[in-house]
Structure 1
Amino acid sequence: MTPEEMETRIVRYGDLKPCRTAFIDAHTPGSDQKENFTIIGGGVSESPDQHVHIKETPGFNIGAAGQPPKCRNSLHSHTTAEVFYVLKGRWRFFWGRWGKAGEMVLEEGDIFNIPTGIFRGFENIGTDYGMIMAILGGDDAGGGVTWAPQVIEDAADHGLVLGENGVLYDTKKGQSLPADVNPMPLLSEEELKAFPEPGNDAVVRDYVARYWDMMALAAGNPCKVIGENALLKDKPGFEVEFLTRGSIPDTAYKLNCHEILMVMRGHWKLSWTGGEKVLAPGDTCAVPPELEHRLEPSMSGEASLFRVMNTADPAGPTWIG
């Protein structure tokens, strides 16, 4: 593989192209400054304006959300995995039918494997623009998003209508539902009863890993974050590991699966027969299966990254203990 070919498999943080009309709450006050990024795969965007950086999916999708302070993402549910880690800023995650069943605050480097089948939302509670990186289960993550009824109603009041076909129509731009497309129906009260309302204890215990705990656990070997025998014992169709300068392989290695490198801190040198590249914080690199390569920090100081690998496990759902 040439350096030029590898570069096409790297999405640089500085090259990310945002979409500001990705979701139904794009006009709703409090949510109308969100930026959505689709890095690998189509993600869950409802907008044709969304730019996809790498279209080939490795069995899961990679995306990101960028938001200024006090901006929030509205309550929605997924049938497959939705995993976030905080790249920049301080974020509050909340869940439940009205977003009041539980909440937690995540700092930079913390990771949250949000249980499937619950309504969830999040907001930037920091003082600067914040960024969270996302791993979404399955090749077609867009098929498993359900919005809380009040989100659809609020969006309609501000000019956005979601069709049953999963496409947004912006009445402020003169758009309307096609004659053969009905509006997305609201969930009934009976249907809403099927959505769990777990409290903080169960969710924090089983679905959250803190950055400095992972740093300590990865001092000698990669820290298994999501997967079998991992900190968060889930099997959502992918595994997540956390690596530091003390836990990277000593020699060149290759895997028989897709390997997505997502840099959290520091600069990392990726080398292989034919070239090398340096990855910076926020960069995402899709290393192809069977490519022998080596990974090492390119300078002194704190260095950490998340490594995501596809598995044969189904994409979801997860369980709530």
Structure 2
Amino acid sequence: MTRADIEKRIVRYGELKPCKTAFIDAHTPGSDQKENFTIIGGGVSESPDQHVHIRDTPGFNIGAAGQPPKCRNSLHSHTTAEVFFVLKGRWRFFWGLHGTAGEFIAEEGDIFNIPTGIFRGFENVGTDYGMIMAILGGDDAGGGVTWAPHVIEEASAHGLVLGENGVLYDTKKGQELPHNVSPMPLLSAEQLKEFPEVPVENVVPRYVARYWDLMALAGKKPAKVIGTDALLKDKPGFEVDFLTRGSIADEMHSHDKHVVLMPMRGHWTLRLDGYETVLNPGDTALINPQEAHALAPSMTGEASLYRVTATDDPAGATWTAN
């Protein structure tokens, strides 16, 4: 394996290529400054303009969303996991058909395993450009996005029409739906009953982990964040661990499944097949099964990293009403 082969599986934060027309609300005031990033896998973008950094999928997708202050992502739902951790800034997550069922504020490093089957949105409530990193369940990221009806109606008023084929058409650019493609139908009142209005007390304790709690939990071993025996108990088709300076040894090891490394704080030295490089906050590295590697913080000071490992569990629903 050459240095170039390894670098193809590392996406640097500074080299991320955004798409500003990824979703149906790209022209909607308040949401028209969003930047969507597809890092590993095809993601759920509805635009052919979306750049994909690594097309291979390890059983899940990695993406990111960047937004200036007061910019929001409109209410939508997924059929598989959507996990976010805050890389930069301060974010408000909200859910329910009109975003009024519940909300909480996420700080840098916090992670949210959003329950499937509910409408959710998020907004940058910080003072600077913010970035959240995303893990989406399944190789095809659950087949796309289901939008709240009012989102589709408002987007149409601003020139964007979503076809039932999942492709966006911009009437401001003279685009029209193909003759054999109908507009994406709005969910009926009966269908909307399948999307629960979940109170905040049923979401935050079960699906949110705070950064400084994870720092305290990660002692001599990584903290288990998402998994069957983790802090946030779930089986979304992947597991998430939280690594710190004291919870990992600088020794060669391998995993049976694909692993993705996503630094949160500090600089991490990755050794792989005789090659050594440094991973920085916002970088993403894909490690293949049975690939021997070593990982350790490369400088003094605070160091933290999220590690995502594929599992054999199907990428199905994560929400349970109990």
| TM-score, L = length of structure 2 | 0.98
1:122 paired with 2:122, answer yes
Do the aligned partners of 1:45 and 1:142 also contact (CA within 8 Å) in 2?
no
Whole-Å separation in 1 of the counterparts to 2:80 and 2:63: 15
In structure 1, give the amino acid aligned to 2:57.
T
Do the aligned partners of 2:26 and 2:33 also contact (CA within 8 Å) in 1?
yes
Structure 1 partner of 2:101 = 101
Q: How does 1:282-321 map to 2 (within 5 A)?
A: 282-320=282-320, 321=322
Structure 2 partner of 1:112 = 112
Q: How does 1:57-96 map to 2 (within 5 A)?
A: 57-96=57-96
Structure 1 partner of 2:276 = 276
In structure 2, give the amino acid aligned to 1:36.
N
| TM-score, L = length of structure 1 | 0.99
> Structure 2: which 5+ runs fail to align?
none
In structure 2, give the amino acid aligned to 1:273.
D
Task: List per-residue Cα deviations over 1:159-182 (Å, max 9, x = no partner).
Answer: 000000000000000000000000
1:147 paired with 2:147, answer yes
Q: Secondary structure at the residue paired with 1:49?
A: coil
In structure 2, give the amino acid aligned to 1:309.
T
Q: How does 1:230-241 map to 2 (within 5 A)?
A: 230-241=230-241
Q: How does 1:1-321 map to 2 (within 5 A)?
A: 1-141=1-141, 143-320=143-320, 321=322
Deviates more, 1:136-145 or 1:206-215: 136-145
In structure 2, give the amino acid aligned to 1:278.
V
Shift of 1:249: 3.1
Q: Secondary structure at the residue paired with 1:135?
A: strand
Q: Measured at CA, do residues 66 and 265 of structure 1 come closer, stay the same or move farther in structure 2, by a change above 3 Å?
A: same
- State the aligned residue count: 321
Whole-Å separation in 1 of the counterparts to 2:132 and 2:273: 33
Do the aligned partners of 1:3 and 1:276 also contact (CA within 8 Å) in 2?
no
Do the aligned partners of 1:234 and 1:318 also contact (CA within 8 Å) in 2?
yes
Do the aligned partners of 2:37 and 2:51 also contact (CA within 8 Å) in 1?
yes
In structure 1, give the amino acid aligned to 2:11.
V
Task: List per-residue Cα deviations over 1:94-115 (Å, max 9, x = no partner).
Answer: 0001100000000000000000
Q: Secondary structure at the residue paired with 2:31?
A: coil
**Superposed CA RMSD:** 0.8
Whole-Å separation in 2 of the counterparts to 1:221 and 1:173: 54
Do the aligned partners of 2:79 and 2:142 also contact (CA within 8 Å) in 1?
no
> Structure 1: which 5+ runs fail to align?
none
Q: Secondary structure at the residue paired with 2:230?
A: coil
Identity of aligned residues (%): 76
Q: Secondary structure at the residue paired with 1:153?
A: helix
In structure 1, give the amino acid aligned to 2:253.
Y
